[in-house]
Amino acid sequence: MSESILIADDEAPIRQSIKLALLWEPFETREAAELETAYQLLLNDPPSLLLLDIHFGQENSLALMRRMSAEGINVPFVVLSGAATASEAAQAIQLGAYDYLEKPLSAERLRLTIRHCLENARLQSVVQRITVDRNQNQEILGT
Protein backbone atom coordinates (compact mmCIF):
# COMPACT_ATOMS: atom_id res chain seq x y z
CA MET A 1 0.00 0.00 0.00
CA SER A 2 1.41 3.38 -0.95
CA GLU A 3 1.38 6.27 1.45
CA SER A 4 -1.16 8.99 0.88
CA ILE A 5 -0.74 12.73 1.03
CA LEU A 6 -3.60 15.15 1.47
CA ILE A 7 -2.85 18.51 -0.16
CA ALA A 8 -5.00 21.13 1.56
CA ASP A 9 -4.70 24.48 -0.17
CA ASP A 10 -7.33 26.87 -1.47
CA GLU A 11 -5.28 27.66 -4.59
CA ALA A 12 -5.75 25.10 -7.38
CA PRO A 13 -2.44 26.00 -9.12
CA ILE A 14 -0.54 25.29 -5.89
CA ARG A 15 -2.27 21.93 -5.45
CA GLN A 16 -1.48 21.05 -9.06
CA SER A 17 2.19 22.08 -8.77
CA ILE A 18 2.55 19.91 -5.64
CA LYS A 19 0.94 16.96 -7.43
CA LEU A 20 3.31 17.51 -10.35
CA ALA A 21 6.33 17.63 -8.00
CA LEU A 22 5.22 14.30 -6.52
CA LEU A 23 4.26 12.65 -9.80
CA TRP A 24 7.12 10.14 -9.78
CA GLU A 25 7.04 9.56 -6.04
CA PRO A 26 5.28 6.51 -4.56
CA PHE A 27 2.50 8.58 -3.01
CA GLU A 28 -1.22 8.68 -3.63
CA THR A 29 -2.29 12.33 -3.55
CA ARG A 30 -5.68 13.73 -2.64
CA GLU A 31 -6.80 17.34 -2.58
CA ALA A 32 -8.92 19.59 -0.39
CA ALA A 33 -9.74 23.14 -1.48
CA GLU A 34 -11.55 23.95 1.79
CA LEU A 35 -10.64 23.46 5.45
CA GLU A 36 -13.87 21.60 6.21
CA THR A 37 -13.19 19.16 3.37
CA ALA A 38 -9.69 18.58 4.74
CA TYR A 39 -11.13 17.98 8.21
CA GLN A 40 -13.68 15.45 6.91
CA LEU A 41 -10.94 13.58 5.00
CA LEU A 42 -8.77 13.55 8.13
CA LEU A 43 -11.64 12.00 10.08
CA ASN A 44 -12.96 9.53 7.52
CA ASP A 45 -9.88 8.48 5.55
CA PRO A 46 -6.73 9.76 7.28
CA PRO A 47 -3.76 10.28 4.99
CA SER A 48 -0.18 9.39 5.85
CA LEU A 49 0.69 13.09 5.69
CA LEU A 50 -1.11 16.41 5.44
CA LEU A 51 0.33 19.35 3.49
CA LEU A 52 -1.61 22.27 4.93
CA ASP A 53 -1.70 25.86 3.69
CA ILE A 54 -1.85 28.22 6.65
CA HIS A 55 -4.23 30.65 4.91
CA PHE A 56 -7.47 29.64 3.18
CA GLY A 57 -8.82 32.92 1.83
CA GLN A 58 -9.94 34.71 4.97
CA GLU A 59 -9.66 31.56 7.09
CA ASN A 60 -6.61 30.48 9.04
CA SER A 61 -5.73 26.80 9.37
CA LEU A 62 -4.38 27.22 12.92
CA ALA A 63 -7.94 26.45 14.08
CA LEU A 64 -7.83 23.14 12.19
CA MET A 65 -4.47 22.32 13.79
CA ARG A 66 -5.96 22.99 17.24
CA ARG A 67 -8.98 20.85 16.38
CA MET A 68 -6.72 18.00 15.23
CA SER A 69 -4.84 18.14 18.51
CA ALA A 70 -7.98 18.35 20.66
CA GLU A 71 -9.65 15.45 18.85
CA GLY A 72 -6.56 13.23 18.78
CA ILE A 73 -6.22 13.26 15.00
CA ASN A 74 -2.65 12.06 14.81
CA VAL A 75 -1.68 12.78 11.21
CA PRO A 76 1.74 14.32 10.64
CA PHE A 77 1.56 17.62 8.82
CA VAL A 78 3.71 20.20 7.09
CA VAL A 79 2.54 23.80 6.90
CA LEU A 80 2.80 25.79 3.66
CA SER A 81 2.51 29.53 3.24
CA GLY A 82 3.48 32.46 1.15
CA ALA A 83 2.31 35.12 3.56
CA ALA A 84 2.39 33.80 7.13
CA THR A 85 3.81 35.86 9.94
CA ALA A 86 6.62 34.56 12.14
CA SER A 87 4.05 34.24 14.92
CA GLU A 88 1.80 32.03 12.78
CA ALA A 89 4.73 29.84 11.77
CA ALA A 90 5.77 29.48 15.42
CA GLN A 91 2.21 28.61 16.44
CA ALA A 92 2.01 25.98 13.71
CA ILE A 93 5.20 24.34 14.96
CA GLN A 94 3.91 24.48 18.56
CA LEU A 95 0.70 22.80 17.39
CA GLY A 96 2.70 19.90 15.98
CA ALA A 97 3.71 20.82 12.44
CA TYR A 98 6.75 18.84 11.38
CA ASP A 99 8.04 21.73 9.28
CA TYR A 100 7.08 25.00 7.67
CA LEU A 101 7.70 25.59 3.95
CA GLU A 102 7.42 28.96 2.28
CA LYS A 103 5.88 29.43 -1.14
CA PRO A 104 6.96 29.33 -3.85
CA LEU A 105 7.86 25.77 -3.03
CA SER A 106 11.08 24.13 -4.10
CA ALA A 107 10.09 20.73 -5.51
CA GLU A 108 13.24 19.09 -4.14
CA ARG A 109 12.83 20.61 -0.67
CA LEU A 110 9.17 19.54 -0.67
CA ARG A 111 10.03 15.94 -1.57
CA LEU A 112 12.83 15.82 1.02
CA THR A 113 10.61 17.27 3.75
CA ILE A 114 7.86 14.77 2.96
CA ARG A 115 10.29 11.84 3.10
CA HIS A 116 11.76 13.03 6.40
CA CYS A 117 8.34 13.69 7.92
CA LEU A 118 7.03 10.24 6.97
CA GLU A 119 10.19 8.55 8.26
CA ASN A 120 9.89 10.50 11.52
CA ALA A 121 6.26 9.38 11.86
CA ARG A 122 7.27 5.74 11.25
CA LEU A 123 10.00 5.96 13.90
CA GLN A 124 7.63 7.56 16.40
CA SER A 125 5.16 4.74 15.78
CA VAL A 126 7.86 2.12 16.44
CA VAL A 127 8.92 3.86 19.66
CA GLN A 128 5.30 4.03 20.79
CA ARG A 129 4.76 0.30 20.13
CA ILE A 130 7.96 -0.59 22.00
CA THR A 131 6.93 1.59 24.93
CA VAL A 132 3.48 0.00 25.10
CA ASP A 133 4.97 -3.51 24.87
CA ARG A 134 7.51 -2.68 27.58
CA ASN A 135 4.82 -1.31 29.88
CA GLN A 136 2.63 -4.37 29.33
CA ASN A 137 5.55 -6.69 30.10
CA GLN A 138 6.30 -4.77 33.29
CA GLU A 139 2.65 -5.10 34.37
CA ILE A 140 2.74 -8.85 33.73
CA LEU A 141 5.95 -9.20 35.73
CA GLY A 142 4.65 -6.93 38.48
CA THR A 143 7.57 -4.51 38.35
Tens digit of each residue's pLDDT (9 = 90 or more) over 65-109: 999 999 999 999 999 988 778 888 899 999 999 999 999 999 999
**How confident is the model over 4-61, as pLDDT tens digits?**
999 999 999 999 999 999 999 999 999 999 999 999 999 999 999 999 999 988 888 9
Please tell me the pTM assigned to this model: 0.90
Structure confidence at residue 142 (pLDDT)? 62
**Of residues 51, 45, 46, the one with CA closest to residue 11:** 51
Phi and psi at 2, nearest 5°, equal -80, 160
- Name the pLDDT band for 134 (thresholds 50, 70, 90): confident
* Residue 50 identity: L
